[in-house]
């Protein structure tokens, strides 16, 4: 604003405004999207991990480690990110906790390798929280003196251990061995993610956009003060 000749003149610094609008168009919106996406991704992963005990018996952090995420990059033209089930410790695709979680999310038929069986613990995991250590694996159990197998008519094999020395002593079923096992989908991974995203995205987008617009205004203000 300036005064001269009995007149007050209002001037608009369109250079600063142009800088602001140009930065918003080229950068602020893209950075806001990336920031909002990363906020949503963080909240989704927290919700997925928090929900695990409702669907799994948690003995350690093995299952939790399988829920990973890729952050959106603010430098990308179309920012995107994801939460996903991944092979543990960078393992091969289809190996480790990632493939285990995928089966619980999607459902699957788990086939044993040729000449082998899928082992289902019975007495080997007689309580929900018991860890199935190597000492309780089928091969180790069968190395015991009173261990033996029974072939069932349906093709399963039972791994038993006789309790006591007499032939009529109680027999404990430790494992059932099957050529294949059908696993039902039981972890609502996608539903949890959708509900969380719908709830928190507006807040994250508002916060990210406010931050980036303030940043653009600051850049435009500094540019308008500089030499031209």
pLDDT for residue 2: 46
Which two structure tokens, joined as six digits, stand for 101?
């979680």
The answer to whether the CB of 107 falls within 8 A of the CB of 185 is yes
Region 89-118: mean pLDDT is: 70
Residue 102 is predicted with a pLDDT of 84
Strands 147-151 and 108-111: unpaired
**Average of per-residue pLDDT across 141-147:** 92
User: Whole-prediction pTM value?
Assistant: 0.69
Question: Is the pLDDT reported for residue 119 higher than 60?
Answer: yes
Distance CA 162, CA 156 (A): 19
Residue ranges covered by each domain of the chain: 12-104+185-225, 115-180
- Give pLDDT, residue 214: 82
Residues 219 and 213: their CA atoms lie apart, in Å, by 10
């Amino acid at each position: 604003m300036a005064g001269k000749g009995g007149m007050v003149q209002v001037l608009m610094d369109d250079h600063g405004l142009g800088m602001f609008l140009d930065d918003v168009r080229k950068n602020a919106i893209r950075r806001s999207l990336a920031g909002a996406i990363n906020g949503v991704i963080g909240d989704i992963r927290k919700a997925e991990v928090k929900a695990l005990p409702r669907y799994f018996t948690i003995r350690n952090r093995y299952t939790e480690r399988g829920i990973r995420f890729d952050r959106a990059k603010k430098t990308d033209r179309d920012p995107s990110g994801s939460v996903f089930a991944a092979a543990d410790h960078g393992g091969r695709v289809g190996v480790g906790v990632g493939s285990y979680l995928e089966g619980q999310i999607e459902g699957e038929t788990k086939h044993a390798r040729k000449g082998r069986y899928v082992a289902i613990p019975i007495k080997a995991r007689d309580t929900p929280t018991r860890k199935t250590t190597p000492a309780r694996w089928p091969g180790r159990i069968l190395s015991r003196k009173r261990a033996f197998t029974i072939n069932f008519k349906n093709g399963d094999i039972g791994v038993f251990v006789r309790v006591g020395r007499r032939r009529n002593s109680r027999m404990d079923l430790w494992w059932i061995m099957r050529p294949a096992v059908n696993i039902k989908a039981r972890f609502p991974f996608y539903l949890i993610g959708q509900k969380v995203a719908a709830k928190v995205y507006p807040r994250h987008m508002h916060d990210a956009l406010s931050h980036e617009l303030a940043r653009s205004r600051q850049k435009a203000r500094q540019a308008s003060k500089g030499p031209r």
